[in-house]
Amino acid sequence: MLNHEKSRSIFAEAQTLMPGGVNSPARSFGGVGGKPIVIEKGEGAYLYDVDGNKYLDYVQSWGPMILGHAHPAVVMAVKDALDNGTSFGAPTEAENKLAKLLIELIPAVEKIRFVNSGTEATMSAIRLARGYTGRNKIVKFIGNYHGHVDSLLVAAGSSAATLGVPDSPGVTPGTVQDTILLPYNNVEAVVKTFTERGSDIAGVIVEPVAGNMGCVIGSSNFLYELRHLTQTHGAVLIFDEVMSGFRVGKGGAAQRFSITPDLVTLGKVIGGGLPVGAYGGKAEIMDNMLPVGKVFQAGTLSGNPLAMAAGYATIKTLLEGHTFNALERKMAMLAEGLEDEAHNADLPVYVEQVGSMMTLFFLGAEKSGIGDRILETTAAGGVVMRSTATSSSGNSFSGKVTDWTSASLCDTERYARFFWGMLERGFYFPCSQFEAFFMSTAITEEEIQKTIEAAKEVFATLT
């Protein structure tokens, strides 16, 4: 057994200082039981804990660390920026550099504004959608997470779901009365809602590739229908690409699926591990923000020079290395390897992967009926989809995860045992069935092979 003595002691103190010992519930190991390990440093593909254990990291700070930890180009860029001071509350050229890069790469983005987190980005984008249209209602999808924005904190997937708190106390009925909740990937529900109350709807916010109920891909049919309906009814389509941006490809899910939303929200990768969010889109809509327009949004540290430098260095490095195909290929290798070994061990699993995001869903034998509920399958653009497979014993499994209903039927207890088995072998996977695994440029094929071999051992203990 790995020694976690120092982690235990630091975390015990943390629990007396911060609620639950954490500053974000996702890292509390609530979904797998037990105590989180305390990290000392990250280097390349690996995390090192305070007891000196080393883990191959498939969490990557929940997405941002696409180049691995302490990448020299990012470290250098931040150090250079640091020497010039950390914040001015005034324009800097660094903001232009990152803005230009993002506008160039993401077709839907003509103008952009930087904030400090993904939460701020989605909060601001829905305020803008309401201010621009003069309407109140926002459509959101069950199992999609858009940060801890009050009005979007209903049926919000991972953290909340894992801890069994689908709605948060403190979010008032008044705050969510203008939020319309619909099932993900369900075209009929969206059509019906727009037919009945299209003229009240300010906007639709959606994770085009969901990452917060596990990785679940929005079907092309569903996403095209959202584009069509919002256009027809004068509502704003917001793609929340805080996670999928630079994960499913260079131009995000919007580019991959060839759909141009009105607004895009970004975060995670674009900050290279520093706190950044952004929202951008059509200039005609963005220019409704103060000081050009009337919609208010501000931030003392917004566009922070260290964060701009880290984000710019991260994206530049990704582009220069032509890394998107390589990342996707490596993630496919891991996905296929895990799926094959799980099936060889007679474990019913469903694997969803797109770009450098993936989830291994443990279906649970008694829950194999969920395949019947599929409305759509996959989206366009070379999405890797695996639906059925045959195990060595000839059993075939056909279950798919396409929405929160099917995701929530997964065997979270089995996932927890998988998680601990892998952690013990030096592999750091997300501490919840309802989160995505991430690939970084720092992880090699050899390390992926080792991961698959370790998973084979763990799978054998799960039946």
Ligand X SMILES: *Cc1c(COP(=O)(O)O)cnc(C)c1O
Task: Return the active site residues.
Answer: 145, 240, 268
Q: How many CB atoms lie within 10 A of CB 408?
A: 18
Closest CB 117 distance from ligand X, rounded Å: 4
Please give the DSSP secondary-structure letter assigned to residue 383: -
Q: Identify which of residues 212 and 302 has a Cβ nearer to ligand X in the complex.
A: 212
Residue 240 binds ligand X, judged by CB under 6 A: yes
Q: Which region, left, alpha or beta, applies to residue 70 given φ > 0 means left and ψ of -120 to 50 means alpha?
A: left
Output 69 or 140, the one with its CB closest to ligand X. 140
Q: Which residues contact 106 (CB under 8 A, 6 or more apart)?
A: 245, 251, 252, 254, 255, 264, 266, 280
Q: Is 253 in the site for ligand X (CB under 6 A)?
A: no
Select from 164-172, 180-188, 238-246, 377-385 the region that touches ligand X (CB under 6 A). 238-246
Among 122, 297, 317, 359, binds ligand X (CB under 6 A): 122
Whichever of 135 and 247 has its CB closer to ligand X, that residue is 247
Q: What is the 3-state secondary structure (H, E, C) of 286-343?
A: HCCECCCCCECCCCCCCCCHHHHHHHHHHHHHHHHCCCHHHHHHHHHHHHHHHHHHHH
Q: Verify binding: residue 242, ligand X, rule CB under 6 A.
A: yes
Residue 237 beta carbon to ligand X: minimum distance, rounded to whole angstroms: 15
Name residue 204's beta-bridge partners: 139, 237
- Contact with ligand X (CB under 6 A) among 49, 57, 207, 411: 207
- Write phi, then psi, for 119 (nearest 5 degrees): -60, -45
Region from 236-244, 333-341, 345-353, 447-455 binding ligand X, contact rule CB under 6 A: 236-244
Piece of 84-92, 105-113, 205-213, 396-404 that binds ligand X (CB under 6 A):
205-213
- As measured in angstroms, the least distance from the Cβ of 310 to ligand X is 14
Q: Which of 7, 117, 323, 432 binds ligand X (CB under 6 A)?
A: 117
CA max distance for the chain: 66
CB of 156 to ligand X, least distance (A): 9
CA separation for the pair 213, 432 (Å, rounded):
9
**Rounded least distance, CB 348 to ligand X, Å:** 27
**Beta strand pairing status for 46-49 and 39-43?**
antiparallel
By CB atoms closer than 10 A (0-12, 13-18, 19+), residue 247 is: buried
Residues that contact ligand X, how many (by CB under 6 A):
15
- Select 81 or 216, whichever has its Cβ closest to ligand X: 216
**What is the footprint of ligand X within residues 267-296 (CB under 6 A)?**
267, 277
Q: How far is the CB of 355 from ligand X (least distance, A)?
A: 14
Name the minimum Å distance from CB 372 to ligand X: 28
Let me know: does 417 contact 390? Beta carbons within 8 Å.
no
Which 8-state DSSP code applies to residue 373? G
Cβ pair 91, 113 in contact under 8 A: no
Binding mask 125-154 for ligand X (x = CB under 6 A): --------------------xxx-------
8 A C-beta contact, residue 433 and residue 406: no
**Residues 282 and 123 sit within 8 Å (Cβ to Cβ):** no
Sign for the CA dihedral angle at 125, 87, 315, 290 comes to positive
Decide whether 139 or 347 has the Cβ nearer to ligand X: 139
> 450, exposed or middle or buried, with CB in 10 Å at 0-12, 13-18, 19+?
middle
Q: State in angstroms the smallest separation of the CB of 227 from ligand X.
A: 18
List own/partner pairs for 196-199 with CB under 8 A and 24 or more apart: 197/137, 198/229, 198/232, 198/233, 198/235, 199/135, 199/233, 199/234
Beta-sheet strand order (sheet of 263-266): 111-115, 277-281, 263-266, 236-240, 201-206, 137-141, 179-182
Find out whether 150 and 190 touch, Cβ atoms under 8 Å.
no
Question: What is the number of the residue whose Cβ is closest to ligand X?
Answer: 118
C-alpha span between 349 and 341 (Å, rounded): 10
> Residue 145 or 361: which CB sits closer to ligand X?
145
Q: Which is nearer to ligand X, 276 or 349 (CB)?
A: 276
Give the residue with the Cβ less far from ligand X, 383 or 454.
Answer: 383
Letters for 159-198 (x = contact with ligand X by CB under 6 A, - = none) are ----------------------------------------
Listed ranges 81-89, 112-120, 135-143, 388-396: which one lies at the site for ligand X (CB under 6 A):
112-120
Footprint (CB under 6 A) of ligand X, residues 406-435: none
Q: Which of 21, 31, 44, 118 binds ligand X (CB under 6 A)?
A: 118
Site residues (CB under 6 A) for ligand X?
A: 117-119, 122, 145-147, 207, 211-212, 240, 242-243, 267, 277
